[in-house]
C-alpha cells in the first residue's frame, strides 16, 4: 500500500512534464488505433466473404470479360444453388471526385446471394420490374442525399454515354462492418445500350457469383466449373470469395505493410520519449533513491517504484488515447469515406493499444532502474536534484 501511495505521489510531482508525456502517449495511441483500423478496413472484404460463395472470372484477368451464355452451364454444375453475374461500370456522378463502386448486376437474384445486404421484398420487386432501376447502400445514399424515386445520371467512362437510373431501394448492412457504399443497377439496361452502340461488347460480363450447397466442396465445385470451360475462348478461374478478395489486397501489399510499419514506429517513438522522461526523473531523485537504499530498500523495491510511475503515466496516456479514438474514428472515416467503405476501431485494437501502453511503460523504466541500482549510495547522496 505504501508503494502505491509513493507511486501515486510521484506521477505528478513534475506536473508539466508528466502532463506533456501523457499527452504524447495519448496522441501516439490515437495514431496507433487509427492506423491499425485502416489496415483492418483493407481486409473488410476478406472478413465479409462467405464460405459458400464462389467467384468465376476470366482466367487471364478480371478485366477480360466472359460470355453471358456461361450462366446456364454453370447452373448445371452439381451443388450450385444460385448464380448472379456482374460487371464493373466506373461511371462519373456529376464530378470525377464523386467516386463510388458501381456494378451492373443480373437483378435481385444477385442481391439474394448477399444476405448481409438487407432489402425489402418490395424493393427487390421494384428493382426487377424497372430496367433503369438501381439500388444504393445506406451510407452512399446519405452521402449524396438520395431518396427512393430520385433520378441518378451517370456518365460512362468504360462504357460511353450517359445512363439515367431511378433509385428503387436503399440497402442496409446486417453487420456494422458491411459495406454500405456500393451502387447496383440492372445489367440488361447497360447491355441494351451496348447492342446499339458497340455490339461486339454486348452479352459479356465481368464475373459470376455462385452459391454452393456445401462450403466443404468449394475446391471440387471450382474445379468442375473450370473444367466445363476448359479449352474454350474464355477459360475461367473459379475461387472462393475470400481468395478473390485476398487477390485484391495482395495488389496493395506494400501499402498495407507500410501502414503496419508506421504503427510500430509510432510506438517506438513514444517509448523513447517516455524513457527520456523517466531517465530525467531518476537523475533528479538520485538522492532520494540513495536514502531509500540506506534504509534497507533493495533494487527490486526501487524497480517497482520507478516502473510503477512509468507504467502509470503510460497507462493514463493509453486510456486517454483510446477515449480520443472514439470520436477520432468518425472524423477519420469522414476524411476517407471516398476511399474506404467501412472504418471501425475494433475492440481488439483498443486492447492492443492498452497492452502497448503497459509494455512501453515497463520497458521505459528498465534503463533508469538499472542505473539507480548500480549507483553507490555515497554517489547518490552527493547528487543534488
Q: What is the pLDDT of residue 125?
A: 93
Percent of the chain at pLDDT > 90 equals: 45
- Which residue, of 234, 265, 292, is where some domain finishes? 234
Per-residue pLDDT band for 249 (boundaries 50, 70, 90) equals low
* 113/228 same-domain check: yes
Across residues 142-156, what is the average pLDDT?
A: 93
* 115/160 same-domain check: yes
* 65/118 same-domain check: yes
Q: What is the pLDDT of residue 381?
A: 67
- Residue 183, classed as helix, strand or coil, is strand
- Which residue, of 180, 204, 234, is where some domain finishes? 234
Q: At CB < 8 A and 24+ separation, what contacts does 331-334 make? A: 332/34, 332/37
Q: What is the pLDDT of residue 300?
A: 85
* 228/321 same-domain check: no
- Taking CA atoms, 203 is separated from 62, 106, 162, 187, 195, in Å, by 16, 12, 19, 10, 8
Across residues 69-95, what is the average pLDDT?
A: 92
Instruction: Please report whether residue 240 resides in a domain.
Output: no
Report the C-alpha gap between 286 and 186 in whole angstroms: 76
Name 312's Cβ contacts closer than 8 Å, sequence gap at least 6.
7, 8, 11, 361
Report the C-alpha gap between 305 and 243 in whole angstroms: 51
Across residues 289-296, what is the average pLDDT?
A: 77
Q: Is the dihedral of CA 69, 179, 211, 43 positive or negative?
A: positive
Specify the number of domains making up the chain. Answer: 2
Q: In angstroms, how far is CA 372 from the centroid of its own chain?
A: 44
Report the C-alpha gap between 159 and 113 in whole angstroms: 26
Q: What is the pLDDT of residue 251?
A: 64
* 103/159 same-domain check: yes
Q: Pairing relation of β-strands 66-67 and 80-88?
A: unpaired
- For the chain, what is the radius of gyration of the CA atoms? 30
Domain that holds residue 33: 2-44+253-382
Per-residue pLDDT band for 276 (boundaries 50, 70, 90) equals confident
Average confidence score pLDDT of the chain: 87
Q: At CB < 8 A and 24+ separation, what contacts does 16-22 make? A: 17/277, 17/280, 18/277, 18/313, 21/273, 21/274, 21/277, 21/313, 21/317, 22/313, 22/316, 22/317, 22/320
Instruction: Please report whether residue 53 resides in a domain.
Output: no
Instruction: Please report whether residue 195 resides in a domain.
Output: yes
Name 371's Cβ contacts closer than 8 Å, sequence gap at least 6.
279, 282
Strand partners, 103: 88, 184
* 77/164 same-domain check: yes
* 144/68 same-domain check: yes
Q: What is the pLDDT of residue 160?
A: 86
Report the C-alpha gap between 43 and 186 in whole angstroms: 28
Per-residue pLDDT band for 277 (boundaries 50, 70, 90) equals confident
Instruction: Please report whether residue 352 resides in a domain.
Output: yes
The yes-or-no verdict on residue 158 having pLDDT over 80 is yes
* 65/132 same-domain check: yes
DSSP structure class, residue 200:
G
Across residues 94-120, what is the average pLDDT?
A: 91
Instruction: Please report whether residue 121 resides in a domain.
Output: yes
* 361/267 same-domain check: yes
Q: What is the pLDDT of residue 86?
A: 94
Q: Pairing relation of β-strands 102-105 and 80-88?
A: antiparallel
Per-residue pLDDT band for 383 (boundaries 50, 70, 90) equals low
Which comes out higher in pLDDT, residue 255 or 226? 226
End-to-end CA distance of the chain: 26
Which comes out higher in pLDDT, residue 241 or 338? 241
Instruction: Please report whether residue 198 resides in a domain.
Output: yes
Which comes out higher in pLDDT, residue 176 or 131? 131
Quick: pLDDT tens for 193-219: 999 888 888 999 999 999 999 999 999
Instruction: Please report whether residue 140 resides in a domain.
Output: yes
- 149 touches 114 (CB < 8 A): no
* 264/196 same-domain check: no
The C-alpha cell that represents 102 in the structure block = 458501381
- 55 touches 239 (CB < 8 A): yes
Phi, psi of 255 (to 5 degrees): -65, -45
The C-alpha cell that represents 138 in the structure block = 445506406
The yes-or-no verdict on residue 65 having pLDDT over 80 is yes
Q: What is the pLDDT of residue 151?
A: 94
* 95/33 same-domain check: no
The yes-or-no verdict on residue 330 having pLDDT over 70 is yes
| Burial grade of 129 (CB within 10 A; 0-12, 13-18, 19 or more) | exposed
Instruction: Please report whether residue 372 resides in a domain.
Output: yes
Percent of the chain at pLDDT > 70 equals: 93
Report the C-alpha gap between 289 and 122 in whole angstroms: 76
* Nearest Cα residue to 357 out of 328, 329, 326, 321: 321
Quick: pLDDT tens for 127-147: 999 999 999 999 999 999 999
* 90/211 same-domain check: yes
The yes-or-no verdict on residue 222 having pLDDT over 70 is yes
Strand partners, 155: 92, 162
Least confident of 99-113, 238-252, 353-367: 238-252
Per-residue pLDDT band for 149 (boundaries 50, 70, 90) equals very high
* Nearest Cα residue to 319 out of 356, 348, 344, 346: 356
Amino acid at each position: 500500500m505504501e508503494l502505491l501511495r509513493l507511486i501515486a505521489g510521484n506521477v505528478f510531482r513534475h506536473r508539466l512534464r508528466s502532463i506533456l508525456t501523457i499527452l504524447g502517449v495519448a496522441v501516439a495511441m490515437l495514431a496507433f488505433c487509427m492506423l491499425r483500423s485502416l489496415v483492418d478496413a483493407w481486409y473488410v472484404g476478406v472478413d465479409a466473404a462467405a464460405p459458400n460463395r464462389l467467384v468465376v472470372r476470366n482466367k487471364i484477368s478480371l478485366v477480360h470479360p466472359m460470355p453471358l451464355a456461361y450462366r446456364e452451364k454453370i447452373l448445371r454444375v452439381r451443388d450450385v444453388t444460385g448464380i448472379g453475374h456482374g460487371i464493373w461500370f466506373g461511371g462519373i456522378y456529376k464530378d470525377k471526385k464523386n467516386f463510388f463502386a458501381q456494378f451492373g448486376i443480373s437483378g435481385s437474384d444477385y442481391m439474394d446471394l448477399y444476405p448481409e445486404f438487407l432489402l425489402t421484398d418490395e424493393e427487390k420487386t421494384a428493382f426487377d420490374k424497372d430496367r433503369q432501376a438501381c439500388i444504393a447502400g445506406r451510407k452512399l445514399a446519405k452521402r449524396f442525399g438520395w431518396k427512393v424515386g430520385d433520378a441518378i445520371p451517370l456518365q460512362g467512362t468504360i462504357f460511353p454515354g450517359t445512363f439515367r437510373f431511378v433509385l428503387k431501394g436503399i440497402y442496409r448492412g446486417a453487420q456494422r462492418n458491411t459495406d454500405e457504399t456500393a451502387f447496383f443497377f440492372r445489367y440488361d439496361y447497360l447491355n441494351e445500350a451496348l447492342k446499339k452502340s458497340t455490339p461486339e461488347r454486348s452479352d459479356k460480363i465481368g464475373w459470376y457469383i455462385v452459391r454452393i450447397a456445401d462450403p466443404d466442396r468449394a475446391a471440387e465445385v471450382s474445379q468442375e466449373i473450370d473444367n466445363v470451360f476448359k479449352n474454350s475462348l474464355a477459360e475461367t478461374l473459379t475461387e472462393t470469395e475470400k481468395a478473390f478478395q485476398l487477390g485484391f489486397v495482395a495488389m496493395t501489399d506494400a501499402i498495407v505493410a507500410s501502414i503496419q510499419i508506421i504503427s510500430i514506429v509510432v510506438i517506438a517513438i513514444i517509448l523513447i520519449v517516455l524513457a527520456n522522461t523517466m531517465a530525467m526523473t531518476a537523475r533528479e531523485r538520485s538522492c532520494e533513491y540513495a536514502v531509500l537504499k540506506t534504509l534497507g530498500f533493495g533494487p527490486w523495491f526501487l524497480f517497482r517504484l520507478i516502473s510503477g510511475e512509468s507504467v502509470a503515466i503510460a497507462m493514463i496516456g493509453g486510456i486517454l488515447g483510446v477515449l480520443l479514438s472514439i470520436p477520432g474514428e468518425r472524423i477519420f472515416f469522414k476524411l476517407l469515406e471516398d476511399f474506404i467503405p467501412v472504418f471501425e476501431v475494433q475492440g481488439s485494437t483498443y486492447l492492443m493499444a492498452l497492452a502497448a501502453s503497459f509494455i512501453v511503460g515497463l520497458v521505459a523504466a528498465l534503463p533508469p532502474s538499472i542505473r539507480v541500482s548500480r549507483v553507490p549510495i555515497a554517489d547518490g547522496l552527493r547528487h543534488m536534484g
